């Protein structure tokens, strides 16, 4: 199962209580206060790791709870700190903080509510009402699946990068901190602070240099197979690829770059036709897109129509996608219909860079690999 977005609840540990205690020892009268401090609560920490490629662990364990700190003890013994909870997530995980659900918010004070309601009845703020209406009219961009009121907190891209999602609560001070010249027997200590908590949305956006995009059956997986050691499933029916896959292409001279193969998109993908277009999130970070076209039109479609429709679907997902450099790989050039189709395609789109390939028989692959290298490494 490939999970690329998940909602989690995280709670850091509470700080331990400070202790109220007095030194009691034979022959030491009035030994003074000796209550120790509470320990710090454990934090919930996210750590990016390149050993993972999806969020399945958080799908099965969506509650990330760190340990509380221990309470302080007599003889100035501090409580042990709670252990941090380190949660490994794949590189490319974007974290959003979600608003707290209404049922978890503390109950409002009934008296306070009555007062504010009374005030609101007296004053009508027309400006605010107009602003609200405007806000309703502007739609959230389609690419943002988390809702408008979610707040972006971090983007974990580098292996080993850590982010403290919820900080542990500080431990309370023991009573020996509160001794003074006027109060030598303080009978109070601090309580521990509560740890941070919240609901979060984790979204994985895979990190690759080149993104392959095209209709189902165009030959994206065949191409990934030809240029890298990745072994995606290849079959002559649409939607063979069901989740994204990354291949590493190794060039002579130690240069390497990554290529991402995603499921095929079809006309209307932004209305959830086919597999929808949500997996386009995985090519959002790619530097360059490569649109793969079945130039032979084996599935009875015209390659230029495919090209326009793919551009349209990319734009519907996120207009910024069109700002990325893109090139076209004309696949299946071994088929008879491909030659004339390519001539027509070039006439219709003279400004588009087209590379001819036959992914299934490794023809034209070195040229394409070199072109990808220029885009990814230069
Ligand atoms: N004739 C010919 N067939 C090809 C070529 N490249 C790929 N194919 C065939 O096209 C079919 C689809 O290939 P895939 O690589 O699975 O296509 P895909 O774009 O990954 O398809 P989805 O995963 O369904 O989106 C397979 O039967 C391949 O053998 C080519 O250069 N020439
Ligand atoms: Mg495929």
Which tens digit of pLDDT belongs to each residue from 63-113? 999 999 999 999 999 999 999 999 999 999 999 999 988 777 666 655 544
DSSP-derived letter for residue 25 is B
Q: Is residue 260 included in any domain, yes or no?
A: yes
Q: Which residue has the higher pLDDT, 137 or 326?
A: 326
Same-domain check for residues 49 and 175: yes
Same-domain check for residues 290 and 155: no
pLDDT digits (tens, 9 = 90+) for 227-238: 999 999 999 998
| pLDDT value of residue 108 | 61
| pLDDT value of residue 102 | 73
Q: In what order do the strands lie in the sheet with 44-49?
A: 85-90, 44-49, 162-166
Same-domain check for residues 328 and 191: no
| pLDDT value of residue 145 | 58
Q: How far is the CA of 51 from the centre of ligand 2 (A)?
A: 23
Provide the number of structural domains found in the chain. Answer: 2
| pLDDT value of residue 212 | 95
- Give the domain-ending residue among 174, 204, 234: 204
Same-domain check for residues 176 and 222: no
Q: Supply the range of the domain harboring residue 364.
A: 210-377
| pLDDT value of residue 147 | 73
Distance from C-alpha of 278 to C-alpha of 289, rounded to nearest angstrom? 16
Same-domain check for residues 53 and 180: yes
Same-domain check for residues 12 and 82: yes
CATH number of the domain to which 363 belongs: 3.40.50.300
Q: Are 170 and 193 in contact (CB under 8 A)?
A: yes
Ligand at shortest distance from the CA of 237: 1
| pLDDT value of residue 129 | 46
Same-domain check for residues 199 and 77: yes
52 lines ligand 1 (CB under 6 A): no
Q: Is residue 29 included in any domain, yes or no?
A: yes
Same-domain check for residues 216 and 330: yes
Same-domain check for residues 187 and 232: no
Nearest alpha-carbon partner for 309 in 345, 269, 348, 263: 269
Query: Atom of ligand 1 at shortest distance to CA of 234?
Result: 16
pLDDT digits (tens, 9 = 90+) for 205-252: 998 999 999 999 999 999 999 999 999 999 999 899 999 999 999 988
| pLDDT value of residue 118 | 41
pTM of the predicted model as reported, rounded to 2 decimal places: 0.81
Q: How far is the CA of 228 from the centre of ligand 2 (A)?
A: 14
Comparing 83-87, 132-136, 180-184, 280-284, the range with the smallest average pLDDT is 132-136
Q: Are 352 and 304 in contact (CB under 8 A)?
A: no
Q: Is residue 110 included in any domain, yes or no?
A: no
Ligand at shortest distance from the CA of 263: 1
Return contacts of 242-251, CB within 8 angstroms, 24+ apart: 242/2, 242/275, 243/2, 243/4, 243/279, 244/2, 244/4, 244/206, 244/279, 244/282, 245/221, 246/53, 246/206, 246/208, 249/369, 249/372, 249/373, 251/369, 251/370, 251/373
**Does the structure show a pLDDT above 90 at 203?**
yes
335 lines ligand 1 (CB under 6 A): yes
pLDDT digits (tens, 9 = 90+) for 123-169: 444 454 445 444 444 443 444 457 778 899 999 999 999 999 999 99
Same-domain check for residues 149 and 268: no
- Report residue 238 CA to chain centroid gap: 28
User: Which 3-state string (H, E, C) describes 305-326?
Assistant: HHHHHHHHHHHHHCHHHHHCCE
Q: Is residue 114 included in any domain, yes or no?
A: no
Same-domain check for residues 245 and 183: no
- Report residue 34 CA to chain centroid gap: 48
DSSP-derived letter for residue 364 is T
Same-domain check for residues 187 and 224: no
Identify the helix (H) or strand (E) that includes residue 6. Answer: strand 5-11
């Amino acid at each position: 199962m490939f999970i690329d977005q998940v909602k989690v609840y995280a709670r850091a540990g509470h700080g331990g209580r400070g202790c109220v205690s007095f030194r009691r020892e034979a022959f030491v009268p009035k030994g003074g206060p000796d209550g120790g401090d509470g320990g710090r609560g454990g934090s919930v920490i996210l750590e990016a790791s390149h050993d993972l490629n999806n969020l399945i662990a958080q799908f099965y364990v969506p509650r990330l709870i760190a340990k509380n700190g221990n309470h302080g003890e007599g003889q100035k013994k501090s409580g042990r700190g709670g252990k941090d909870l380190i949660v490994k997530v794949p590189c490319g995980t974007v974290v959003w903080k979600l608003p707290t659900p209404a049922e978890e918010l503390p109950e409002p004070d009934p008296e306070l509510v009555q007062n504010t309601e009374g005030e609101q009845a007296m004053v009508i703020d027309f400006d605010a009402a107009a602003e609200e209406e405007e806000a309703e009219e502007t739609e959230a961009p389609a690419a943002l699946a988390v809702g408008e009121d979610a707040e972006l907190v971090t983007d974990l891209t580098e292996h080993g990068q850590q982010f403290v999602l919820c900080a542990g609560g500080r431990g309370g001070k023991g009573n020996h901190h509160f001794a003074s010249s006027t109060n030598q027997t303080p009978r109070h200590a601090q309580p521990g602070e509560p740890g941070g908590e919240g609901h979060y949305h984790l979204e994985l956006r895979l990190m690759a240099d080149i993104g392959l995009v095209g209709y189902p059956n165009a030959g994206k997986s065949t191409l990934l197979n030809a240029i890298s050691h990745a072994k995606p499933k290849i079959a002559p029916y649409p939607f063979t690829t069901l989740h994204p896959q990354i291949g590493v292409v190794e060039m002579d001279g130690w240069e390497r770059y990554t290529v991402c193969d995603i499921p095929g998109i079809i006309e209307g993908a932004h209305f959830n036709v086919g597999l929808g277009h949500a997996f386009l999130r995985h090519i959002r970070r790619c530097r360059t897109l490569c649109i793969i076209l079945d130039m032979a039109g084996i599935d009875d479609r015209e390659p230029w129509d495919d090209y326009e429709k793919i551009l349209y679907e990319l734009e519907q997902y996120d207009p910024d996608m069109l700002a990325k450099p893109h090139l076209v790989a004309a696949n299946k050039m071994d088929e008879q219909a491909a030659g004339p189709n390519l001539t027509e395609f070039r006439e219709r789109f003279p400004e588009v860079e087209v590379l001819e390939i036959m992914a299934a028989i490794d023809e034209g692959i070195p040229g394409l690999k070199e072109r990808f290298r220029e885009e990814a490494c230069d």
